[in-house]
Amino acid sequence: MAVAAEQGKRVRGGSRVRSAVLWDALRALVDRVAPDGGPRDVVDVGGGTGGFAVPLARLGHRVTVVDANPDALAALERRAADAGVRVRAVQGDAVDAPGLAGEGSADLVLCHRVLEYVDDPAAVLAAMAATVRPGGSVSVLSAGRFGAVVQRALAGHFDDALRTLAGTAEGAAPQERAPRRYHTREDLAGLASGAGLKPVEVHGVRIFTDLVPAGPLDADAASADALLALESAAAVHPVLRELAAQLHLVAERP
């Protein structure tokens, strides 16, 4: 599969582990929206340079990327051309996705690493709900609050960790691409429900990987495989997934 090939580029080391759990969840999600293996309509909101869009297009799906950054969209078009696929690139903000991509136009909507940067996450989730067709799915990836608490505490930033735990911390300026908002599983489920979506499952992404040195993993494939097995098991653990650097929510439009 094209998604597996994308993972195959990272066969060794921590980089592979960082992305594998999310790719596995996306592969299952694609199988869910396309059980017959046929092409489906996918909208990737905030999809940037096409890290997810191009592999999905290689699977034969019709993919549209909505992103506010024209440079990222130019890089997406080059990446798609290099891969020999076509991806539709549309410039615009996430909240305008229904008008840009088409209301009720997608079987699957990706909204990855968007909610932590926008002014109104609820409005963005409502836009995702309006873009997906009834019976379709929405994939949301956002920075996890409790994972950020652990990372900041381990770095010695105890005041920041306490503010993050209380939900009052903000990251650096948006142009630095540091999250200014962190979410819990309950936050994401609440946003999805408020938008009229039905939360289905939540995965923890990068629970341990960001806490261990990359060097030994890059040098030892067996250690990377063992960490990947641990990450996969912890991704759905009701306690450990809360400590993930990122939370992945799957929701459906009834």
Map out the domains of the chain with their CATH numbers. 2-144+183-252 (3.40.50.150)
Taking residues 38-64, what's their average pLDDT? 96
Model confidence, pTM: 0.89
Q: Which two tokens stand for residue 132?
A: 């997906």
| Residue 64 to residue 76: CA distance in whole angstroms | 11
pLDDT at 165: 93
Residue by residue, DSSP assigns 147-188 as HHHHHHHHTT-HHHHHHHHHT----S-GGGT--S--B-HHHH
pLDDT at 8: 42
For residue 11, pLDDT beyond 70: no
Start-to-end Cα distance in the chain = 29
Q: How do residues 82-120 score in pLDDT, each as one tens digit?
A: 999 999 999 999 999 999 999 999 999 999 999 999 999
| CA atoms 31, 232, 218, 110: torsion sign | positive
Tell me what percent of the residues of the chain surpass a pLDDT of 70: 91
pLDDT at 6: 47
Q: Which two tokens stand for residue 123?
A: 């409005």
Taking residues 223-239, what's their average pLDDT? 93
In 186-214, which positions are buried (b, 16+ CB within 10 angstroms) versus exposed (e)?
A: ebbbebbeebebebeebbbbbbbbbeeee
For residue 217, pLDDT beyond 90: no
Contact, 20 vs 231, CB < 8 A? yes
For residue 146, pLDDT beyond 90: yes
Q: Which residues contact 122 (CB under 8 A, 6 or more apart)?
A: 191, 194, 195
Residue in the structure block whose two tokens are 């309950």 = 186
For residue 10, pLDDT beyond 80: no
- The whole-chain average pLDDT of the chain stands at 90
Q: Which two tokens stand for residue 20?
A: 């594998």
What is residue 144's DSSP assignment?
Answer: B
In sequence order, the β-bridge partners of residue 110 are: 44, 139
pLDDT at 173: 38
pLDDT at 218: 74
Res. 171 pLDDT band, cuts 50 70 90: low
Greater pLDDT, 213 or 216: 213
Res. 5 pLDDT band, cuts 50 70 90: very low
| Residue 23 to residue 137: CA distance in whole angstroms | 16
Least confident of 110-119, 167-176, 178-187: 167-176
Chain centroid to Cα 176, Å, comes to 19
